[in-house]
Chain A
Amino acid sequence: MESTGKVKSFNLLKKLGSYGLMFKKGDFFTKTSFFIMGFGSFMRKQLFAGIALLFIQLTFIVFMSTSGLKFLTGLIKLGTMTQGKVWNEEMGIYIMSKGDNSMLFLLFGVATIFVVIAFIYVYFANIKLAYTNQQLIQEGKRPMRFKETVNILLDEKFHITVLSLPVLLTFMFTIVPLVFMILIAFTNFDANHQPPGNLFTWVGFSNFTSVLWDNPLKSHTFSSLLVWTLIWATFATVLNYLFGMILALMINKKGIRLKKFWRTIFVVTIAVPQFVSLLLMSRLLADQGPVNLILQSMGWVKTFVPFLSDGNVARVTVIVVNLWVGIPYTMLITSGILMNIPVDIYESAKIDGAGPIRQFTAITLPYMLFVTTPYLITQFIGNINNFNVIYLLTGGGPLSLNLYQAGKTDLLVTWLYKLTVNYQDYALASTIGIFIFILSAFFSLVVFNRSSSVKKEEEFQ
C-alpha cells in the first residue's frame, strides 16, 4: 500500500530522529564516523568499505570547494555578468569580455544538487553501517568481511549489484537533463534571452499563466491538436498491436511452413533505417509520385490522390504508413511472448471444443494483454510523442490557416518543435511540454497501477 504524503514526511522525521539516536548511543568509533566517513568500518577491520567511504568524502569536499559551491550559488540568479565590450583604439576593434552563460549555470547547478543529494545518502549509509557494526560487536558477532559482502550482493541483495550501473547512467543522461528542462519552464529563456550575449533569469509561474490565458487562436490550435494526437495515438497503438499479434499468430501456427522466411521478410523492413523508409514513403506517395502515376496510368483514378496534401486523407495515410513501420516490431515482440504460452492450455481448450476464434479471445488475448500492458501504455504515450513518423512523413502538414503555425497532421510535439525552431522560445516549449508530461504521466500511472498485470503479478508467476 502506498503511504500518503503525510505519513511519508512523518517517516522521514522519524528516520532523521533515529540517526540522532545513533549518535547518542554510539561509541567512539561510531561518533567519529559522523565526521570522518568510514572511520567505524576502518577501525573494525572492514578495510575496503572504510577506505572507499573516506575517499568519497574527500572527493566531495574537494569538488564542493573548487566548483560545487559556485554552481549552487549560480542557481540563485543564473548569472549576473553580461557580455561586455571595450573599444581598443590601438587594435581598431572592440575587446569582448565574456558574459555568464545562464544555461550552463542552470545545468551545472542542477547536476551539483544531485551530487549533493547522492553524497548525503552515502553519508547516512556510512553512519548506519558504523552503528550496525557496533551493534554486531555488542552482540558478540563479527562485522561482515569483504568476501561475505560480495556474496550477499550476489544473492539477497543481487538487485543492488544489478541496478547500480543502470541507475547511475539513467541519472546522468535522463534525470538530470529532465530536471534541467523542467526548470527552464520557470525562466524566460527565449529568443530575446539567448546566450552568449544575454542572460535569462527566473520568472516563476508567469509562463504557465500566459499559456493558459492566451489568445483564442492558440487555444483552438492546442485543443484541436490534442484531439488529433489522442486519436492518432489510439489508432496507431491499437492497430499496430492487434495486427502485429495476428501476424505473429499466423506465422507461429502449426502447419505453416517457412516460418523463418516470413519472419525475415518482415525484419528486413525494420532493418532499413526509419528515416530512410519514411522519406521513401513521402516520395512514393507525393502528388506527382510513383504511386499516383501508377494509379493514374491504370485508370483507377482520374487525377492524383492527395495522399499527403489533403488534410483528412493525410491523416489516414499517416496511420496506414505507421502500420507498415510498426507491425514488424509488434510481430517480433508478441511472437516471443506467444511462444511462451504453454501448449497444453490450447490442447485442453480444443478438447473442450473451442474453435480458433474462441481460443484467441479466451486464452491468447487476455494472456497477451496481461504481459504487455506496460508495453502498450508506453507505446501509447510514445505515439503521443511520436515525432519521427509525423515529421518525416508530412512535416506536420498540410499547413492550415485555421491553426496557429501548425498543420493538419501535427501532433502536439511536432507543433512544439516548430514553435521552438521558429521562435527559439525554449521556455514556452518546456511549459507546454510539462503540460503534456503531466497528462501522460497521470494517465499511465493510473492505468498501470490499477491494471490487472500489477495486481495479479504474484498470482501469475
Chain B
Amino acid sequence: MIKSMKTRSFIYNTFIHLILSIMSVIWLLPIAWLVLVSFREEPGAYTPYLIPKSFTLSNYTRLFTETKLFNYPRWFLNTFIVAVLTCLISTMLILLTSYALSRLRFKLRKPMMNIALVLGMFPGFMSMIAVYHILKAFGLTQSLAALVLVYSGGAALGYYISKGFFDTIPKSIDEAAMLDGASKSQIFWKITLPLSKPIVVYTILTAFMGPWMDFIFVSVIMKDNYRNYTVALGLYQMLTRENIYQYFTRFAAGAVLIAIPITIIFIYMQKYYVSGITGGSVKG
C-alpha cells in the first residue's frame, strides 16, 4: 500500500529530524557557553551562574587593541600562514601517498604500509626535543618555516583514511583510462582526484586545522620567540595562574575567533561534498 509506506517514511523521517535536533543542542551547548563567556563582562574563570550579568564586546576589541601582553592579531596571522602552507603541503603529501599505496603495485608496498601503521605508536615525549635539534642543525629554529616542516613532515603517515577511500573506487575506471593511453600520473590528476571530493575536503580540513590546535610542538620549537607564537600557544598562556582571572573572557573570545575560519572553510567546501558519482560512471 503506497499510502502507508509514505506515512511510515514520513514518521520515520520526522523521528530522525527530532533526534538530530536534540543531538545538535547537546553538541552545541558547550560552544554556546563559550560564546556567552566571550561576551561576559565580569572577569574570572568561575562564576556560579551561566548567563552573564552584563554583556560586552570589549573582550573581542581588547584582543586586538591591547597587544602589549598578548599579541593576538600577530599570532592569528602567524597561525593562518602556517595553516595555509601546511594545508597545501600536507594534503598533497597525503593524497599522493595514499594513491600510491592504494593503486600502484611495487615491491616495498606492504612493508611500507605496515611500517607507517606502526610508526605512530611509540608514546614519546623526547621526539619533540629530537626534532627541535634536527631543525637546529639546519638552522631552522624558532621560525614559522620550521613549524610548517614539522606539521607537514609526518603527514604522510595519515594515509590510511584516504587510502581506504581510494580503495572503493573501482579499478575498472583506471583500466579504461589506461587503455586510452593515459599514464598513471594523468590518471591521478584527471580521474581519481575529481572523484574523491569528500575525502579531499576531509584532508584539507584536518590539515588546515592542525596548526590552530597544537600548543605542544610550537612551545618546543618557538621557545622564547614570542612574536612567532601561534594562536593556540598564546591562548594557553592566558590560562596561567597569574593571568587566568583577568583573561579568561578574552581567552573565550580568542577561541571563538579561531573557530570562525575553520567553519567558513567547511561551509565553502560543502559544495564539493556531494554524493558519490562513481555509482553512475560504472553503470554508464
Contacts and interface: CB of A to CB of B under 8 A. Distances in A.
Q: Do chains A and B touch in the complex (CB under 8 A)?
A: yes
B1 interface: no
Contact of B131 (A173, A184, A460): A173
B93 A340 contact: no
A181 to B, nearest CB: 5
Interface residues of B, number: 103
B17 interface: yes
Contact of B184 (A155, A274, A417, A460): A155
Contacts of A5: none
Contacts of A440: 118, 121
Contacts of B93: 165-166, 169
Given A170-B119, A284-B30, A159 B126 contact: no
Given A176-B130, A247-B23, A385-B123, A267 B263 contact: yes
Contact of B96 (A166, A182, A342): A166
B255 interface: yes
B101 to A, nearest CB: 8
Contact of A294 (B50, B119, B188, B239): B50
Interface in A426-461: 426, 429-430, 433-434, 436-437, 440-441, 444-445, 448-449, 457, 460-461
Given A173-B134, A256-B17, A339 B164 contact: no
Contacts of A289: 46
B279 A342 contact: yes
A177 interface: yes
B154 A178 contact: no
B60 interface: no
A420 B125 CA distance: 9
A181 B50 contact: no
Interface string A255-286: 11100101111111111111111011101101
A130 interface: no
Q: Mostly helix, strand, loop or mixed at chain B's interface? A: helix
Contacts of B266: 263-264, 267, 271
Q: Mostly helix, strand, loop or mixed at chain A's interface? A: helix
Interface stretch (B61-69, B70-78, B80-88, B155-163): B155-163
B114 A181 contact: no
Nearest to A373: B164
Chain A interface residue number, banded:
35 or more
B279 A344 contact: yes
A433 B114 contact: no
Given A155-B184, A371-B164, A381-B121, A273 B213 contact: yes
A441 B134 contact: no
Nearest to B23: A247
B245 interface: no
A221 interface: no
Given A162-B100, A178-B124, A344 B283 contact: yes
Nearest to B105: A159
B267 interface: yes
A151 B184 CA distance: 10
Contacts of A157: 106
Contacts of A412: 123
Interface string B147-182: 001101111110011011101111100000000000
B170 A449 contact: no
Interface in B93-143: 93, 96-97, 99-100, 104, 106, 109, 112-114, 116-127, 129-131, 133-134, 137
Interface centre among A111, A161, A269 (most CB of B within 10 A): A269
Contact of A293 (B28, B48, B116, B163): B48
A170 B163 contact: no
A177 B100 CA distance: 25
Contacts of B96: 162-163, 166
A271 B161 contact: no
Contact of A173 (B100, B149, B164): B149
11 contacts: A154-B183, A174-B154, A260-B267, A273-B232, A279-B239, A324-B27, A336-B165, A337-B165, A340-B278, A413-B123, A437-B122
